[in-house]
Amino acid sequence: MNPREDKTIIDKMFYYVKLFRNSDNFWIGLLNDLLFVAVMIGLFMLISQIGLGISRPAVAVESGSMLPNIGIGDVVIIQSAQRTEIITHTNGTLSGYSSFDEYGDVILYRKYGSSTDTPIIHRAMYWVEEEEPMWPGGPDAPHSGYITKGDNNRDIDQKTSTSRLQPIKEEWIIGVARWHVPWVGYLSLAVH
C-alpha cells in the first residue's frame, strides 16, 4: 500500500464512523448509545484499577449493620487492600485516625474466604495472632487475622454467625472503604 491508499482508507473509515454517529435510525442510535456506555464503563474500570487498585470499586450496602455511619442502599467506594495499610479501631484510637465517623478502617471481606457468599463490610477492630484469645476470656484464634464488628452490632463478628470463631485473614479482604454515596445503591439492590 502506498501512502495515498492509506489516506483513502482512513478517510473512508472516518466517513462511516461519522455516518454511524449521526444516523437517524433508532437501532443504530441505540447501538451508538450502548457502545458509548460500554466505553465509559471500561474507562471507569481502567481509571479505578489505576487509582484504587480494583476494577469494580463500588459496592451497595445490603444491611444496617454499619448504621448510622453507612446505611442500607449506600454505595461504598473501595480501595484495594494491597494498596493501603489497614488501621484497626484500636490503633485508630491511639493515633486519632478515623473513617466513617469512628476510629479505624472499614473493610470489605469474604466471609470465611468464600467467593460465593455476599461480602461483609465491617470495621477492623483489632488484630490477633494465632493461638491468642480472640477476646478477653474467649477462645484462642485458629489463625492470625482481624477481629471485626459492624458499627450497629453489639458483638464482634467472631462471636456471632457473621464470622463465628474465625478472625479475618488478610487474603479474605477485598478492600478498604474510602467514601460512600448515600442511597444510590437502592437501584442495584432492587434488581439484585
Q: By C-alpha distance, which of 98, 80, 94, 92 is closest to 170?
A: 80
* Average pLDDT of every residue of the chain: 89
Instruction: Look up residue 185 and give its three cell numbers.
Output: 445503591
Whether residue 90 sits in one domain with residue 13 = no
What's the predicted TM-score (pTM) here? 0.75
Q: How confident is the model at residue 5 (pLDDT cuts 50, 70, 90)?
A: low
Q: How confident is the model at residue 28 (pLDDT cuts 50, 70, 90)?
A: confident
Give alpha helix (H) positions in the chain. 3-21, 26-52, 89-95, 186-191
Whether residue 160 sits in one domain with residue 89 = yes
1-5, 117-121, 168-172: range with lowest mean pLDDT: 1-5
Q: By C-alpha distance, which of 95, 115, 97 is closest to 106?
A: 97
**Number of domains the chain is built from:** 2
Q: pLDDT per residue over 128-151, tens digit each?
A: 999 999 999 999 999 999 999 999
> Could you tell me which residue, 78 or 19, shows the higher pLDDT?
78
Whether residue 42 sits in one domain with residue 100 = no
Indicate the residue among 32, 52, 72 that finishes a domain. Answer: 52
**What is residue 144's predicted lDDT score, i.e. its pLDDT?**
98
**What is residue 22's predicted lDDT score, i.e. its pLDDT?**
84
Structural domain including 138 reads 58-191
Side-chain-side CA neighbours of residue 108 (13 Å)? 27
**Type and span of the H or E element at 113:** none
